[in-house]
Amino acid sequence: MSFLKNIFGKKETYPSIDFSVFKTDMHSHLIPGIDDGSPDMETTIALIKEFKQMGYSKIITTPHVMSDYYKNTPEIILGGLEKVREELKKQNIEIELHAAAEYNLDDGLDKLIDENKILTFGDKHVLFELPFMQEPRNIQEIVFKFQTNGYKPILAHPERYGFWYKDFEKYEELKAKGMLLQLNLLSLTGHYSPETKKVAERMVDENLVDLVGTDCHRIEHLKILQDFADSKYFNLLAERELVNQKL
């Protein structure tokens, strides 16, 4: 037995983190019935209660905005936010709740920027994602357009874009151009794929993560995160200074 221990070594153990260390979750899908997240108010309230129990003191929920699928406008999103706030007040649930959006880099994003129909949070931060199939040709142009219009772009879950898995330098290049990178905590659990987990761990190791988010769509996502509260990489992130803590 001691021979095997010498070969494989003792498994590292870590304390369970308190998610309150992150303070703010800035990526979730909690507005009822407007995207692929929470389907109804009952689910939304259950999710928010779970966030609160985990230690989060602030939530910035970010519904999808896609020109050809989730045609959410600021009016739809903020209207939904107010309904959730009213229900929280009715149930005496105290937590700070705000809303922005997760913008898909599609054909409609240029127009939204031009028309100033972008929902932001923090210091004019805006969260956007890429299509998963292939790298958009105009990513640099969109980032520049965001910046010249006074926005601070945050790329959602870059560790999930498979087209960069063999081009890790891309992450460093994006940061060098002034973009912030947001990691999904779920990526570190292996929830999406082993490849995604590996890239996520390397991003943490090389200090490329500016923000973390749950990207919560359903209660199972939060339960998975709690199951991994004692993992190495959750502990590493808990020691970092992240933008989350300043939002």
What pLDDT score was predicted for residue 12?
A: 77
Supply the pLDDT for residue 11: 54
CB-based contact 170:206 (threshold 8 Å): no
Tell me the domain boundaries of the chain: 16-246
pLDDT at position 5 is: 41
Q: Does domain 16-246 have CATH number 2.40.160.40?
A: no
The set of residues, in sequence order, having a beta carbon less than 8 Å from that of 72 and lying 6+ positions away, is: 34, 35, 63, 64, 65, 101
pLDDT by position in tens, the chain (length 247): 444 444 444 557 899 999 999 999 999 999 999 999 999 999 999 999 999 999 999 999 999 999 989 999 999 999 999 999 999 999 999 999 999 999 999 999 999 999 999 999 999 999 999 999 899 989 999 999 999 999 999 999 999 999 999 999 999 999 999 999 999 999 999 999 999 999 999 999 999 999 999 999 999 999 999 999 999 999 999 999 999 999 9
Look-up of token digits 């221990």: 5
Closest CA to 30 of 71, 68, 67, 58: 58
- Rounded Cα gap, residues 64 and 156, in angstroms: 11
Which contiguous run of DSSP H or E holds residue 65? Answer: strand 64-65
